[in-house]
Amino acid sequence: MLLGNKIRSLRDEQGILQRQVAAYLEIVTPMFSKIERGDRRAKRSQVIQMATYFKVDEKEMLTLWLADKVLDALEDEDELKLTAIETAKSKLMDVNH
């Protein structure tokens, strides 16, 4: 729910209502509320739109969105999740070098 927390924080800081962001994204307010609470995942394109709307760094927002996806995938893997992350990190480092 990293992205949802960020969205909520940005909305609060800028005094923007959920319905205003929902209208900008062309979705209904209850759907936006679910995205903000972490009950529903935003689409990548919506994350980019929100970065533009809130005038924040697109890469930061996409990073939070992607981190939420990783955390969701590892949610019930208490024993193995850190090892899995380290393995994935090693693989990514091999690809980048």
Residue 94, pLDDT score? 86
90, part of any domain:
no
pTM comes to 0.86
Is pLDDT of 9 > 90? yes
Asked whether residue 86 is assigned to any structural domain, the reply reads no
Q: Could you write out the DSSP letters of every residue in 62-77?
A: HHHHHHHHHHHHTTT-
* Residue 80 CB partners (closer than 8 Å, separation 6+): none
Does residue 94 belong to any structural domain of this protein? Answer: no
Digit-coded pLDDT (tens) for 10-39:
999 999 999 999 999 999 999 999 999 999
Query: Is residue 92 in a domain?
Result: no
Closest CA to 1 of 50, 38, 41: 38
Q: Specify the CATH number for the domain of residue 34.
A: 1.10.260.40
d(CA 97, CA 80): 26
Question: Is 75 contained in some domain?
Answer: no
- 97 domain-assigned: no
Residue 85 lies in a domain: no
pLDDT at 13: 97
